Structure 1
Amino acid sequence: MARYLLRVMYDGLAFRGWQVQCAGRSIQGDLISAFRQLGVRHPGLTGSGRTDAGVHALAHYAHFDYQGKMTPLQLQLALNTKLRDDLLVTGVWPVPQDFHARYSAMARSYIYLLAREKTPLNRLFTGFMPRSKFSLESLQTLAEHLLGSHDFSSLSRDNPLVPNHICTLSKLDIYEWRDLVRFDITADRFLHNMVRRIVGTLVNLSHFDLGPQELLNILAEKNPRQRLVVTAPAQGLYLSGVRYPNLQLDETPLP
């Protein structure tokens, strides 16, 4: 049995997230169904992480096991014939048998696209926070204080199964992109809702003209119910990449 890594791109609007759900579509569920239609009953499909309902992906990775005769390219093309238009396999590669899509990852990257105004054309693929007036300069200043290792309990959803809330942010760039504000975020790991709460909270602090000390206070208090902690909408978030040791994978840019 050989192990492979696949990469998928998807529009997350119709999905309940990555993981198989009792009701509703999931990315993992649609992929497993596609494998079964190809005669692969138990691929052991394991993702690099979970995404929430409505979140998109440019590059979400998963490993699977396969002992058939198709080449990686043939597998990619065959799977895509069984998938709907909102989910696409963009690459398949052979990997070592001990490779794990989640635990072998060194870093993960996300993009968040924030609209200054909500329109009928941008509402499905960008985030918008009503009544928020923010400045790019203050967002950038606040962001500098999140770089490095911190306890992100305050900026994530509580999960008793995850005792360690220390994450190391290596990148948090915020800049004008087309007519949007774009956040590029990379860390060794992310907690549940962490990216959306980082974005929402930075925008909220900027709106109230609050500085870095207030952000540091939020981190120190480790209280997810703080009034200044806001979760940005899911539809502006894109999983943009995962970095693995000894694997050179081409990145998928935003269209």
Structure 2
Amino acid sequence: MSLLRRATDRLLPALLAAGGVVLLASGLITVAQPAAGGDDVLLPTPSAMVGTPTPTPAATGSAGPSEPPSPTPSASVEVAVTSRVVIPALKIDLPIVAQSYGPGQGSYPLCDVAQYLEIFKQPSQRGTTYIYAHAREGMFLPLLLQSQRDNGQAMIGDLVQVYTSDGHVYLYEIYRVKRHATDFSLAEDVPEGEQGLILQTSEGPRGTIPKLQIAAKLLNVAQASLAEANPTPYPRDCR
């Protein structure tokens, strides 16, 4: 069982029991525990996915004088993060910031931006990239409205452009619209070695647990200018 599956299995009971979780515009499916002093909730963070480090075996014996010194480990390469999402058919164009960005540090979705869930992958990595935003004007409201017409079938085949901070644009094609979702199963349903995208938004007023999820498959990757890929975000705390 994957770490992601175990983490989401632990979080789902809290989700089903929680009330007053999000506004019409709320962004996240998974709910942990209520934040102190209000209706906001703490959302999953990358630390929830970190397992116990495997201890390094102790060296046996001392190195001989002819043995070369161990090489210094090189710093890991920083992965470019999602920075902009565009859905031309629905006139959606939003900067993207991390779930933990800004006021509240992820306890409630921000307005005027989309956000990515940090427990999932970035577009350059195998697996699922998970992007969410409020169902409000100028944000992901068109996704909700389209989903209410024939279960969103008109969105099948629509293209989604996801830009990354290093100047690339990943082109995806929508292939499934899932209404009333209550877990991450759609996000986990990506064939091994492939890259996918989930877009999420809310389906109702505060306290509505089910969310709208839209799945898209990767078609290709192209270069983009850094200016085009990195619009300045102006997130707003709209709790």
Q: Which TM class, normalised by the smaller chain length?
A: under 0.3
TM-score normalised over the length of structure 1 = 0.25
TM-score, normalised relative to structure 2:
0.27
The structure where helix makes up a greater share of residues is 1
